[in-house]
Each structure stands twice: as structure tokens, then as C-alpha cells.
Structure 1
Amino acid sequence: MALESNERPDKPITKFESMLKTDDVYFFDAEDFEDIVHHYLNNGKISLAKKGIKIGLQQHPCSIELKLLQVEVMVFENHLENAEKLLDELEMLDRNNEEIYIQRANIFSKKDNHAAAVSLLQKALELTTDSFDIYSLLGMEYLFMDDFKLAKESFMRCVEFDNEDYSSLYNVIYCFEFLEDYDGAIYYLNEYLDKNPYCQVAWHQLGKQYYEKRMFPEALTAFDFAIISDDTFIGAYFEKGKVLEKLGKYKEAIENYETTINIEDPTSHAFLRIGKCYEKLKNKEMAKYYFYQTVHEDPLLDKGWLAITNFYYNNKNYEKALYYINKALNIDGENPLYWKKCANINYALENYDQADFAYKQVVDLGNYELDTWLKWADVAHFNGDTLSALQILAQGREFYPKNLKIIYKSVGFNLIIKDFINARICLLDALKLDKKRKQLQLFNKQFPQYSNSEWINTILANYKKAS
């Protein structure tokens, strides 16, 4: 039975949930049902939203707004065909309802037809006086299309409607950053702050833009204003700490990182930064303590294991460094920098087989730095495979065709395998680049057994006469 109004709970949500627990049936206005369904959708309670729609349509079978909410749920659950059929019916009843076009746009977006979605949203704009949500949806569609300029303009309109719409503000800055227009972002944020001088979010974002431009004093000022606006703003303290590190003020940086820990539960990233600061202050014990705190707080943070690796590597404790770099590799085995560290450690330990494998991983993963080729070639040579060392140098020379370290090393390795023809070719290539022989010591230092040989001296003398 339906209850009289004086028998019902005051709030629609409470009243609705009370009804679900009993056999009683409460009567609601259609607007109440809309509020109930919106509440559950906003809180991710889809099953309760569907119950609200079902009961609402039983009481108000002609409510277009409730049917549009039913469409929204269908789209969310990917029942797109059913949603389109219902929209066709609704459009026959009300062609000028902007929500119909918005839901059709959502369907096209789900189908990755973002251009069609944009077209429908623009039609919706023509029919509404409340365009805030539509501009937000347009901004997202433009992001999907990688049109960051139009996305930025759409989100800017959202911020104009509501200067506390921080989600849109973040999206505006994201677009500026993607376009690498840091000056534009700074100008926009300063204009925004002229109207909203106590907005900690805007100050924080402004500081990050100055940081990107390496304008560290300006960034520091911006983060200070963010903290003045909200002295519990952890992000501002953390970013301020990073700026202070850049300025070499490590003790002050530590204080800011410690503040983030005092405000909220400690984070592995704060511990890691504190450890790095102590390392710069040459306080090895405190650095080590905080690096271990980092991985204790988050054992899956590979950067924490890398920090411990570097700590031991820099202190020439290669056995421990090897143990910890393997921890990092277990978390991210596709990181060429971790494999390179592993290779360098094995190189230092004279584990040349393992070093050879690690350098191969480095190159396979796309790291083509000069010292990678040089050290990998040395490792192959130390393993007794000088021919492979020459092949490695030949690959490296494709990336660094005029690098004398590679060419002089190729001369020496060719001499070792008694390939005098290729040794001579490489030496002449080197001399063409090293006209004043300033870099010849690279060869003499690594291959002293050949530095004063008759073979070398003859080529040098003949080259000098010819030139």
C-alpha cells in the first residue's frame, strides 16, 4: 500500500531504502526518483540505481528523464543496441531534449567514433542553457582525438562556469603541458590566480610549470603560496622539497619531505627523496636507512631497490649491489637502465658471462649509449671472443660513425686477431678524424703492446708523408 506523506521518511534516499527493506510501497515524485537514481549512479551503486529506475517508471511510466537515466545505465553496461532503440523512441517524443544527444554521443564515444560524438555534443549545446557538463564531455572527446588545443578550450569553458572545478583546471594544464606550452600555462594560471588568489591547486600547478622551466625561485614562491592557502597540502610540500634539492638546500628539502610524513601516512616516495638528500649531504648511514625504509614501505617500488643498488655500487660493494639490482629487475625486467646497471656491476665483478648477457638485454631494449657498446665489446674480448667484440663495435659505429674510442678500439682488437688489413683500414679512418693525433693515446693506453710497434709506426709515418 502507498503511505501518506506524513508517514514517510523525510529524505528521499532514506525513504527509498526503507521501502526496499519492507513490503510497503512509498510514493515519490518523478524528481525524487531522479535524485535517488543520480545519487546511486554518482556513488557507483548501479544495482540500486536500476531498482530506482524500475520502481520510478512503475509510478511514472511517461517520465522521459527516468527513461534517459535508464539509457545512461544501458550505455554504462554496454547494452548499446537497446539504448539506441530507447533513444529512438524518446526522440519521437521530445526532439529538443539535449540529453538525448548527449547519450547518443556517449554511445558513439563507446564505439570510438569520437568525431560523431563531438558533432552530437555540439548539437546538444544548441539546445541547452546549461552547457557546463557538455563542455566537459567535449573536452574528453577532443582528448580522445588528440586535439589538445580544442580540448583545452573546452575545459577552459568549464573553469569559467565554475572556478572551483579543479578537475577541469587540471585538464587545462594537462593540455598546456602536452603542447609543451609552459609559458601559456603560466600566463593562464596567473590570470586565474588574480581572480582566485587563495586557490592552492592553482598555486601548486603554477609551481610545477616554473619547475619545468627551471625557474626555481619562482617555483619556490608558488609552492609557498600553495602552502599558505592550505597548510596540509602534501603535494605542495613534496614539490617544494624537489625545488630545494635543485637549489642544493638539502636540509630544508628534508624538512619538507618530513612534513608530508607528519601530515599523513608516510610514503615510499618521501622516504626515497629523503634518502637522496642525505646521500648528497654525504651522510651514508642516514641515506641507507631511508632507502631501506623506502622498500619496506613499498617492496614493489623498483626505484627504491635501484637507490640501494647505487648506494652499494658507489661504495664499491658490488656483491650487495648485484643482489639489489636483481630485486629491481624482478619488478621491471623491461627497463634497459636496470639491465645496464646489472651489466656494469657484473663487469666490475669480472662476471663476464653475466655481463655479456646483461649488455645484450640493454641493447635489445633500445639503449644505444656509447659506453654500452664499448663495455660490451670489452666483455666479449675478456670472454675470449674478440671477433664478437669487433662485431659489437661495428654495430656501435653505426650509431657513432666518427667516434674515435670505437675506431681505435677496433684497431686494437683487429691486431689481436691478426687481421692486419682491417686494422690498417680502421687506423686510417681514425687518423682522418684525429688529424693532430690528440686522441691516439686512447689506443696507446688500451693496447700498449702495439703502441710502439713497427707496424703502427710505419703506417703513422706513411700517413704523415701522404698528408
Structure 2
Amino acid sequence: MKRSGLLFISIGVIVILSSITLFFITRSPGGTSTDHFQKGEALFAQQKWDEAIEEYTKAIALDRRFISAYRRRAEAYRNKGDIDAAIFNYKKIIELDPENIDNCFQLASLYSSRGDNYSAIATLKKAMEIDPKNPFPFQRTGDIYAAMGRYQDALASYSKAIDLAPSLAGLYLSRAGLYLGRGEYDKALADYSQAIRVDPSNEGLYLTRANFYVQRKSYDLAMSNYDKAIQLNPKYYEAYVARGRLYHTLEDSQKAIADFTKAIQINPKRIEAYGARAEIYASENMKTQAINAYLKMISLTTDENLIAQLRQKIEELK
């Protein structure tokens, strides 16, 4: 009984000492690891990257497994342009959390941003090993291969992604873009159409297919797809602008102006519709309306080169 009592007391002492040790390990004169992390978050929100990094580093020094602190420190490094430091942090995150493929995506993105495509692909292959039924590592690998000009590898990656998730419309768009870049228009159209079949209420898919038809000069088909996009989303700014441009191509200025005007009503702070409408006004010798549209664009942009171009257009109309 005495031995049992002594054993119980010894265990209790060990637990208490461990708790005290942990308390002091996770504290510094400036606070706990969580305190430093929260200070880092406040500085991050103010875009004070160096100061935020300093606080995240203090948090990590107190808790070497503080994944959120590594992640935010990586983001701060990326935002200040130190890609190598961001990569170092994501490698550490993957060591601590090796089964989370989102970490692989982030690391692959960092590699790609510095042009290290082979390391990006190798990282995505690790994601495939972690979750072999997830289509997105294959899709992203396809994107990288496409950017590298490795058509067959890109095609194989996109096709594998589609095999894994045939009901995801975005995967067909990726492969369609690859076909389009190669001039394989029938295959591209087949994928655009399949995307619509699997997600028929997605207005963006009709806009994408309409733009494809415009490129192929199939204007009637393009118009019907723009109409469908607008039917699905009557406040679809991009669809009104695109359809207005098609009306302009078809020399129907009134309908073009009506669509551009509708787009402006939907979002009066975007300049594309003002510019498109101004071009029609100028071509129709409606100088006052064109000048007013250009002046409105000037008021909405801070792009000095664009402002100079718009002022030149105004001078030409006077």
C-alpha cells in the first residue's frame, strides 16, 4: 500500500512539473505563443509584413508545432516577395502535417511562381500519393505541363482528372483550353458542351462557349449562348458586355448600346461597358456622348497610360 501511495504521489508530481514546464515553454516575457500569433495577425492585416513575421517567429519559438504560425509567416514572406523563405515555411508545415494536400498545393504554387516547374510537379505528385482519387493535383499538374508546352503530358493529366471526377465542369474547361490552344476546335467544343451538360445552370459556361463561337465566327450560336447566360443570370455584367460587342460586330448599334447601358446599370464602377459604348458613339459621330463616356472612364481609373489614351481620344473628337 505504501509503495502504491508513493507511486501515485510520484505520478502526480510528474504531471504537475510537466504542466509547469509546458506553461513556461509556451510563454515569453512578451506573452504566450498565441499572444504573439494574434499580434502577428493584427500586423498582417495592416500589411506590415516584417513586423508580422517577427511575431509569428516568436510564436513558433515557443511552440515548434504551431502550424498556423508557420502558414501565416509563409504568406507574409510571399506577400513581401521572399519566395524562398515562404517555401521553407511550407516545407516545415508539410513535415508537421504530411497528410494535408492543401499544403502541397501551396508549396507547388510557390515553386511555380519562381519558375521551378519540376519541383512544383514533384510536390503535386506527393499530393496524388496522399489522395489518389482527388482530381485537383492532376488538373494543376496539367496546367503546369501546358505552360511548359508539354501537350501530351498536359492532356494525360487533364484526362486523368476527368476520369476521377467526371461531374466537375471546370475540369472539362481546362482540357478544352488545351485543345483550343492547339487548334483542335471540335474537341474543345465537345468539352465546353460536356461541361454544360454536367452543370447546366452555370451561366459562366454558356458565356465561355459563346466566346468560343464568336472566335469561330458562328455568330448565331454565340448569340443563343449569350442569351442563355443572361437568362440564367439577368445581372451578368460580362455577358451583357460580350453580347453588346457581338451586336456591334453585327452592325446593330442600338442593341449594342442597350446591352452596354444595361451593363453600366448593373455595375457603374467598371469601365469596360463605358469604353465599348463610347466607341459606338464615336463611330456614329455622337461626339458629346462619346466624350462624356471617356470622361467617365477617366474618373474611374488610376491607370495613367489609359488616362493619357482617353484624353487623346477626347482631343480627336473635339
TM > 0.5 fold call: yes
- Measured in 2, the distance between the counterparts of 1:271 and 1:164 equals 37
1:114 aligns with 2:52: yes
Q: Distance in 2 between matches of 1:323 and 1:230?
A: 41
Q: 2:104 & 2:236 partners in 1: Cα distance?
A: 30
Alignment of 1:161-172 (within 5 A): 161-172=96-107
Amino acid in the other structure paired with 1:307: A
Q: Percent identity?
A: 14
Query: Which residue number in structure 2 is paired with residue 271 of structure 1?
Result: 206
Q: Compute the displacement of 1:333 (Å).
A: 3.0
Kept in 2, the 8 Å contact 1:104–1:120? The answer is no
Superposed CA deviations along residues 332-383 of structure 1, whole A, max 9, x for unmatched, are 3333433221210111222211001112234442353887555433321xxx
Determine whether 1:378 maps to 2:316. yes
Instruction: Write the letter of the residue equivalent to 1:269.
Output: G
Gaps of 5+ in 2: 1-15, 44-50
Are 1:124 and 2:62 matched, yes or no? yes
| C-alpha spacing 1:93/1:204, structure 2 compared with 1 (3 Å) | closer
TM score, norm. by length of structure 2: 0.75
Residue identity in the other structure for 1:111: A
- Do residues 187 (structure 1) and 125 (structure 2) align? no
Going from structure 1 to structure 2, the CA distance change for 1:321 and 1:218 (only over 3 Å counts) comes to farther
TM-score (norm 1): 0.53
- 2:98, 2:197 → 1: CA distance? 31
**1:119-149 deviation per Cα after TM superposition (whole angstroms, max 9, x unaligned):** 22321344xxx56555334434545655443
Output the CA distance in 2 between the equivalents of 1:218 and 1:312: 40
Residue 329 of structure 1 deviates from its aligned partner by: 2.1
1:244 aligns with 2:176: no
Distance 1:240 1:149 in 2: 31
Tell whether the 8 Å contact from 1:101 to 1:123 is kept in structure 2 after alignment. no
Provide, for residues 175-226 of structure 1, a one-character-per-residue CA deviation record: whole Å limited to 9, x for no partner: 345xx32x31443223541783645222211222344456555433331232
Q: How has the CA–CA distance of structure 1 residues 214 and 122 changed in structure 2, closer, same or farther, with 3 Å as cutoff?
A: same
- Bigger RCO (CA 8 Å, 6+ sep): 2
Residue by residue over 1:305-344, the C-alpha shift from the partner in whole angstroms, topping out at 9 and shown as x without a partner, is 1110111011111111111112222333333433221210
Contact 1:339 1:362 in 2 (8 A): yes
Matched residue SS, 1:111: helix
1:219 has 2:148 as partner:
no
Letter in 2 for 1:337: E
Matches within 5 A, 1:298-317: 298-317=233-252
- Misfit runs of 4+, over 6 Å: 90-93
Is it true that 1:102 corresponds to 2:102 in the alignment? no
For residue 161 of structure 1, report the CA deviation from its aligned partner. Answer: 4.6
8 Å CA contact 1:271–1:291 kept in 2: the answer is yes
SS in 2 for 1:196: helix
Residue 196 of structure 1 aligns to which amino acid in structure 2?
A: M
Contact 1:108 1:116 in 2 (8 A): no
Shift of 1:272: 0.7
- CA deviation profile, 1:393-436 (whole Å, cap 9, x unmatched): xxxxxxxxxxxxxxxxxxxxxxxxxxxxxxxxxxxxxxxxxxxx
| Runs (5+) with no aligned partner, structure 1 | 1-62, 64-89, 381-467
The structure that has the greater radius of gyration is 1
1:232 aligned residue: 167
- SS of corresponding position for 1:169: helix
Distance 1:239 1:125, change over 3 A: same
Aligned 8 A contact 1:186 1:206 in 2: no
Separation in structure 2 between the aligned mates of residue 215 and residue 359 of structure 1, nearest angstrom: 43
Distance 2:205 2:151 in 1: 20
Does 2:220 align with 1:285?
yes
Residue 248 of structure 1 deviates from its aligned partner by 2.8
**3-state SS in 2 of match to 1:240:** helix
Relative to structure 1, is the Cα distance of residues 111 and 368 closer, same or farther in structure 2, using a 3 angstrom cutoff?
A: closer
Match of 2:9 in 1: none
Instruction: Summarize the Cα distance change of 1:348–1:327 in structure 2 as closer, same or farther, 3 Å threshold.
Output: same
* SS in structure 2 at match of 1:95: helix
Does the CA-based 8 Å contact 2:26-2:63 persist in structure 1? no
Offset, 1:254 = 2.7
Cα distance in 1 for partners of 2:193, 2:185 equals 12
- Cα distance in 2 between the residues matched to 1:92 and 1:131: 17
Cα pair distance change 1:138/1:374, threshold 3 Å: closer
